């Protein structure tokens, strides 16, 4: 027995009221429900996407239906990472280490001056 993975796609459904959640369960797997913004994310088979969207738009409690655009986005970031310039935080850390070494050298000089002063005053 083989496991067959089917292509799935998300659908964002904006609703007027969340009372009709049971009817939305018929259309696909409910992934997320936003009570504050009143939308539902469901996943359906990609082959049934158009018919499901058409049926959802006909429901009286549905305000708007949008397909998820995630399958259309290129998720390969290898080329983008090569073009990225170093972050400003990295530059600040390098500057801090330079300041830290300057501070240490100044401390050493001050300690030497203090020792010389102690020797001359004793």
pLDDT at position 51 over 90: yes
Q: 68 and 12 in one domain?
A: yes
pLDDT at position 100: 67
Q: 101 and 67 in one domain?
A: no
Q: 113 and 68 in one domain?
A: no
pLDDT at position 53 over 60: yes
Residue 27's Cβ-side half-sphere holds a number of Cα atoms within 13 Å equal to 29
Stretch 41-49: mean pLDDT: 95
Stretch 70-82: mean pLDDT: 77
Percent of the chain residues past pLDDT 70, beyond the cut:
80
pLDDT at position 31 over 90: yes
Stretch 75-88: mean pLDDT: 69
Q: Which residues pair with 14 in a beta bridge?
A: 39, 64
Give the integer Cα–Cα distance in Å for 94 and 72: 39
Stretch 39-48: mean pLDDT: 95
Mean pLDDT value across the chain: 84
Give the residue numbers spanning the domain of 91: 85-121
Q: What is the largest CA-CA distance in the chain?
A: 98
The answer to whether 30 and 21 are in contact (CB under 8 A) is yes
CA distances from 16 to 22, 43, 58, 63, 68 (A): 15, 20, 14, 6, 20
């Amino acid at each position: 027995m083989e496991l067959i993975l089917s292509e799935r796609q998300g659908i964002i459904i904006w609703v007027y009221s969340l009372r009709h959640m049971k009817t939305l369960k018929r259309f696909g797997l409910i992934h997320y429900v936003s009570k504050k913004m009143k939308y539902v994310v469901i996943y359906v088979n990609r082959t049934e996407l158009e018919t499901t969207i058409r049926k959802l738009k006909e429901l009286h409690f549905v305000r708007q239906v949008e397909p998820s655009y995630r399958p259309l986005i290129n998720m390969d970031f290898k080329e983008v990472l090569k073009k990225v310039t170093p972050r400003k935080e990295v530059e600040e850390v390098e500057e801090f280490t330079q300041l830290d070494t300057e501070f240490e050298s100044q401390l050493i000089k001050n300690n030497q001056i203090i020792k010389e002063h102690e020797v001359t005053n004793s």
